[in-house]
Amino acid sequence: MDYVPFGRTGLSVSVAGLGCGGNSQLGLGRGKSEADAVRLVLAAFDEGVTLFDTAEVYGTEGVVGTAVRQIGRDKIILATKARMRECGNLISATQLAEKIDASLKAMQTDYIDLYQLHAVTLAMVDQVEAELVPVLQAAKASGKIRHFGLTETSPNDHDQVMLQRVLPTGLWESAMFAFNLMNQGARQAVFPLTQAHGVGTLLMFVVRNVFSQPGLLEQTVKDLATAGQLPAAFTDDPEPLGFLIHESGATSLLDAAYRYARHEPGAHVTLFGTSEISHLKANIASILRPPLPEADRKRLENTFGHLKGVGLDLPHRAKAPKQ
């Protein structure tokens, strides 16, 4: 495993981070047991993963906590997130303080390494900064959390305007946002800001259905070509990203997707999710491989760099299990 400094936090993080939500929810979303989910977390740690990202809404804080107690609390970076709305309203300062305590209890830990506000929108920002940031600062001062950050609502903010608004304030120590082969906007919109302000980055939507569901990539590219967003030649291209797979390039589309994100300047943690240990090992292996050939990276940028919102489908999450 490779490890890198996480912005200005002083943390050292694995470049591969296990996302504990998404479609799989550590397998809980695929009908697997909590014991299976714990084994998956332990397998990730055995492969060198030290950052585990869960959330209140994922329903996996409990199983992550169970696994962490077996691993040893001081050996991992534990990240979780607060749901931002209750009954349609932005949470209050009191509710956020209660959520921090609830996450500590669910994971049976004394502290959270990285506590994040989940899916923050531009409309929330002023109230978040005025009312919720002081709660996070107090929780950090008391030792309940070590660092705090936020995540964007990628499917609803293709231009990433929320992050462009908040990152220059210097309040936030981490940011989680979308970046993938065909959604490259963060290269101009976000990475320059995270690098300038020492913000740790966690990349999501690196692989979603568009790169893993048979036929969806081809249909997506065809639709984009029909809409004039890609050259007409893509209308009937059976392998629109086939140029990435060759002897000195990627071994598969998923391999290309993980390598592309992981080696972007300013990228710290590339998140992946799975329900299978075999997939977990394959994903980590891809994240640890060298960058894609420069010619392939340039072709991706020249061909798809202008696109926005591709591959940002929301997970079809199963009902969260009781903790």
Res 313: pLDDT: 84
In a domain? residue 280: yes
Res 286: pLDDT: 98
Distance CA 189, CA 311 (A): 18
In single-letter form, the type of residue at position 188 comes to: Q
In a domain? residue 113: yes
Rg (CA), the chain: 19
| Range list of H helices, 198-293 | 209-212, 216-226, 253-262, 277-287
User: How many Cβ atoms are within 10 Å of 228's Cβ, its own excluded?
Assistant: 8
In a domain? residue 319: no
In a domain? residue 45: yes
The domain in which residue 219 lies consists of 3-304
- 72 backbone dihedrals φ, ψ, rounded to 5°: 115, 120
In a domain? residue 316: no
Q: What is the pLDDT along the chain (323 residues), one digit of tens a residue?
A: 999 999 999 999 999 999 999 888 999 989 999 999 999 999 999 999 999 999 999 999 999 999 999 999 999 999 999 999 998 899 999 999 999 999 999 999 999 999 999 999 999 999 999 999 999 999 999 999 999 999 999 999 999 999 999 999 999 999 999 999 999 999 999 999 999 999 999 999 999 889 988 899 999 999 999 999 999 999 989 999 999 999 999 999 999 999 999 999 999 999 999 999 999 999 999 999 999 999 999 999 999 999 999 999 876 544 433 33
Task: Kindly compute the dihedral angle of the four CA atoms of residues 123, 124, 127, 132, in this order, to the nearest 10 degrees.
Answer: -170
Give 131: exposed, middle or buried? Use CB within 10 Å, 0-12, 13-18, 19+. Answer: middle
Q: Which residues pair with residue 77 across a beta bridge?
A: 51
Residue with tokens 């993080």: 13
Distance CA 144, CA 110 (A): 6
Overall number of domains in the chain: 1
In this prediction the pTM is: 0.94
Residues 6+ apart with CB under 8 A from 196: none
In single-letter form, the type of residue at position 121 comes to: T
CA 146 to chain centre: 19
Distance CA 45, CA 34 (A): 17
In a domain? residue 312: no
In a domain? residue 126: yes
In a domain? residue 25: yes
Contact 157, 151 (CB under 8 A): no
Among 306, 304, 118, 318, which Cα is nearest to 211's? 304
Give the helix/strand (H/E) hosting 17: strand 16-19
SS3 state of residue 274: coil
At 54, which CATH number? 3.20.20.100
174-178 and 200-204: which strand pairing?
A: parallel
